[in-house]
Amino acid sequence: MTALICGSIAFDTVMVFQGRFREQILADRIHMLNVSFLVPSMRRNFGGCAGNIAYNLRLLGEQGVPMATVGHDFEPYRRWLTACSVSLDFVRELDEEFTAQAFITTDLDDNQITAFHPGAMASSHLNAVPTTAGVTLGVVAPDGREGMLQHAAQFTAAGIPWLFDPGQGLPMFDGPQLLDFLEQATWVAVNDYEGQMLQERTGLSAAQVAAKVRAYVVTKGAEGSVIHAEGGEHVIPAARPEAIKDPTGCGDAYRAGLIYGLMNELDWETTGRIASLMGSIKIGHPGTQNHRFDMTNFRSRFHAAFGRYL
């Protein structure tokens, strides 16, 4: 089986301010804000939902193929994904654009200020879901707005089951558009905040969202996750992390675990725990694609976390 992951490929530039934003920003001067932060620590990570999910699926031994639009500066990322055995067959390079870029400044209280340049991602609609490439499962993750709309419709028209993962792209869509996504999607995955927004904009309860799809997955960080499926709720505990270093990309790691379970036709209790452990492993490493494991190690950690064998 092959999963086609439609979503962003991006560079994340993460800077650390050795102070606190609240000590530098005057509450009564926000209307004329003009501040500068010295950031002696900086790193550039490979990111974007499609890249992150594909990377995590390869760690699990499955093939996730990203479909994305990137810019003329993509070459370092290309070399990295190639070295990780991630297929780039459906990654399109646009010579006139930059690859999507997130510039993230974090303070000592873990508050973040982020600037995001979509670049080539805004042209994701130039890609079309292939119907002759053996794709058996699709993902519509945060991407260009028109691309998300078109890829959802293309998966549906091709009869390919697909996961709707709106993430930070959710605010781009109004209630009727989100309802249309739900009518087409096979599964939906959101975090707790996104779930509340989805339900408010569509006017649906969690049970009503779940009734429209095979599973409605809501992650709750350290509190675990809930999978609404088969007319009931599967409460999935969080796996205890070995360290907490960087939450960026944990949601993508979790979704890779979900996709692994779907590709291998596992039950929801097992699938949810695989996803939970993926997020736990990721949070112990800075960046989104710097964690490593083999399946022997993963199975051992799964047993230690949940008291059951995988």
User: In the chain, what are the domain boundaries?
Assistant: 2-21+41-302
- Please check whether residue 19 is in contact with residue 87, taking contact to mean a CB–CB distance below 8 angstroms: no
Q: Minimal CA–CA distance to 7: which of 148, 115, 116, 118?
A: 148
Pairing of strands 10-16, 100-106: parallel
Q: Minimal CA–CA distance to 3: which of 78, 66, 55?
A: 66
Helix (H) or strand (E) holding 104: strand 100-106
Rounded to two decimals, the pTM is: 0.93
Q: Rounded to whole angstroms, how far apart are CA atoms 161 and 280?
A: 27
Distances (CA, A) of 303 to 95, 293, 308: 47, 15, 5
pLDDT, residue 71, reads 98
CA 144 from centroid of its chain's CA atoms: 14
- Render each residue's pLDDT in the chain as its tens digit; 310 residues: 689 999 999 999 988 889 998 887 777 777 777 888 898 888 899 999 999 999 999 999 999 999 999 999 999 999 999 999 999 999 999 999 999 998 988 888 878 888 899 999 999 999 999 988 899 999 999 999 999 999 999 999 999 999 999 999 999 999 999 999 999 999 999 999 999 999 999 999 999 999 999 999 999 999 999 999 999 999 999 999 999 888 889 999 999 999 999 999 999 999 999 999 999 999 999 889 999 999 999 999 999 999 999 9
In sequence order, what are the beta bridge partners of 167? none
Using CB atoms within 10 Å of the CB of residue 279, give its burial: 0 to 12 exposed, 13 to 18 middle, 19+ buried. Answer: buried
- Tell me the fold of 2-21+41-302: UDP-N-acetylmuramoyl-L-alanine:D-glutamate ligase (3.40.1190)
pLDDT, residue 245, reads 86
pLDDT, residue 114, reads 85
**Helix, strand, coil percentages, rounded to 5, for the chain:** 40, 25, 35
Per the listing, tokens 């494991």 go with 293
∠ CA 101-224-14, nearest 5°, is 20
